[in-house]
Amino acid sequence: MNSLSPVNQGPLNAYRARVAEGLLHPDPAQAHAAETLQNLWRILRGYDPQPTLSAPRGLFGRLFGGKRGSGDLAAPPGTPEGLYLVGAVGRGKSMLMDLFFETAEVARKRRIHFHAFMQEAHQRIHRWKQSHPGSDDPIPPLADAIAGEAALLCFDEFQVHDITDAMILGRLFEALFARGVVVVATSNTAPQDLFKGKPGRDAFLPFIALIQSRVEVLHLESAQDYRRERIRGMPTWHHPLDGRAERALDAAFLELTGTARGTPTSLQVLGRPVPIAEAARGVARLDFDAVCGQALGPADYLAIATHFHTLVLDGIPRLGPENFDRARRFITLVDALYEHRCKLVASAETGPDELYERGDNAAMFERTASRLMEMQSQEYLGLPHLP
């Protein structure tokens, strides 16, 4: 790559190049955010702190009952502040952070969806406890491992809904900041509103104060919802099941996420994982057999509908009495998607009205077919997702 290419000149230049090429519409709010990210890009060039363990017990060690300290509250001198980019859905937050991440000249960096990061943290804690029976505190070694992997952590869709996450976040982030880690995050929720209305939030307030002390909060005030604009006008139902339909779903996923393939992840529902084959930027891609051929229920489909703004679903077969279990699950899935205005891009053997034409329960499927037709309308595609 040419050393003078926009990618090697920081996120602002990369953003301006995309606008000049017609890939992005000019947007003053996005341009301002790109300028802020450019300043951080300059500060972080060559950033490579050498993490050191901190012995004193920090604030969150006292608040959350840690027996050993996770590190001092203060970051090492000279540690740059991170950035917390907050705004409504579809305003380009993830796109801007990705431009920053791609151009960041930091040897150790990582970009990850915040939900996936927390799942990984819980798994690491579980493994550490299994291999260190009787030991008192997994947070310092966890922070050591994360800080050793990345001096820059970029989180997409920073959000806290789970009390288990809330109880470890304070100590973990205190320890990461103490080891010089810089955090850049996107979120639909301002820091002061995280975990709002949840039981135990008072104990979570020091974490909010910590975040606000270590990141600059920037509100992206763009008036345009680019996410909805991308899907409006896009064909969302493709049949029959052939190579053309598969290519159409590939193209839709790429258009909605900016990447050809997503990352495997899972959702925790009632204490068990629901695997998601591919996910990126709020879009999930699943095969019909994986989502309706398994013993999933309403809670699982609700989790999918609320966590993702769009579901790309491959391979819906003809349905009937011979595979009614799958049909029943599909009906429940569609209801969850519809109620939460989750968008559906699908490939199927035939159109919605012909999916379940005969036999018992065909009349029951009529409402589902009607909803599937409505979900293809420009009016529905223009509705905001209800997470």
Same domain (yes/no): 275, 325 = yes
Q: What is the DSSP letter of 282?
A: T
Give per-residue pLDDT as tens, 111-129: 988 888 888 888 888 888 8
* Domain-embedded: residue 122: yes
* Domain-embedded: residue 93: yes
Instruction: Note the pLDDT of residue 78.
Output: 79
* Domain-embedded: residue 387: no
Confidence of residue 65 (pLDDT cuts 50, 70, 90): very low
* Domain-embedded: residue 235: yes
Please indicate whether residue 178 or residue 200 has the higher confidence score (pLDDT).
178
Same domain (yes/no): 213, 251 = no
> Residue 169 corresponds to which amino acid?
L
Are 110 and 152 contacting, i.e. CB atoms less than 8 angstroms apart? yes
* Domain-embedded: residue 325: yes
Same domain (yes/no): 198, 248 = no
Same domain (yes/no): 192, 307 = no
Instruction: Note the pLDDT of residue 230.
Output: 66
Q: Which range is least confidently modeled, 138-152, 180-194, 255-269? A: 255-269
Same domain (yes/no): 53, 192 = yes
Q: Which range is least confidently modeled, 3-12, 43-52, 215-224, 313-322? A: 3-12
Q: Among 55-64, 72-81, 82-91, name the most confident range.
A: 82-91
Same domain (yes/no): 167, 239 = no
Domain boundary among 219, 244, 269: 219
Please determine, for residue 60, whether its predicted confidence score (pLDDT) is greater than 60: no
* pTM, 2 dp: 0.63
Same domain (yes/no): 196, 317 = no
Please determine, for residue 364, whether its predicted confidence score (pLDDT) is greater than 90: no
Same domain (yes/no): 262, 208 = no
* Domain-embedded: residue 329: yes
Q: Count other C-beta atoms under 10 Å from residue 143's C-beta.
A: 26
Instruction: Note the pLDDT of residue 83.
Output: 96
Please indicate whether residue 69 or residue 387 has the higher confidence score (pLDDT).
387
When pLDDT is averaged across residues 57-68 and rounded to a whole number, the result is 38
Instruction: Note the pLDDT of residue 12.
Output: 95
3-class SS of residue 249: helix
Please indicate whether residue 361 or residue 112 has the higher confidence score (pLDDT).
112
Pairing assessment for the beta strands 283-287 and 272-280 based on DSSP bridges: antiparallel
When pLDDT is averaged across residues 46-59 and rounded to a whole number, the result is 61
Domain boundary among 190, 219, 248: 219
Domain enclosing residue 371, as ranges = 226-381
Give per-residue pLDDT as tens, 250-278: 999 998 888 889 989 888 887 788 999 99
Instruction: Note the pLDDT of residue 119.
Output: 82
How many domains are contained in the chain? 2
Helix axes 93-103, 11-20, angle to 10 degrees: 120
| pLDDT, the chain, mean | 85
- Token pair belonging to 162: 């789970």
Same domain (yes/no): 196, 299 = no
Same domain (yes/no): 252, 377 = yes
Are 262 and 285 contacting, i.e. CB atoms less than 8 angstroms apart? yes
* Domain-embedded: residue 386: no
Confidence of residue 223 (pLDDT cuts 50, 70, 90): low
Same domain (yes/no): 201, 314 = no
Q: Which range is least confidently modeled, 226-230, 324-328, 335-339? A: 226-230
Instruction: Note the pLDDT of residue 74.
Output: 64
Domain containing 130 — which CATH number?
A: 3.40.50.300
Pairing assessment for the beta strands 263-269 and 272-280 based on DSSP bridges: antiparallel
Same domain (yes/no): 166, 248 = no
* Domain-embedded: residue 1: no
Domain containing 303 — which CATH number?
A: 3.40.50
Are 318 and 352 contacting, i.e. CB atoms less than 8 angstroms apart? no
Give per-residue pLDDT as tens, 271-330: 788 999 999 888 999 999 999 999 999 999 999 999 999 999 999 999 988 888 999 999
Domain boundary among 219, 252, 279: 219
Give per-residue pLDDT as tens, 93-116: 888 999 999 999 999 999 988 888
Question: Which residues on adjacent β-strands are paired with residue 285?
Answer: 278, 312
Q: Count other C-beta atoms under 10 Å from residue 263's C-beta.
A: 13
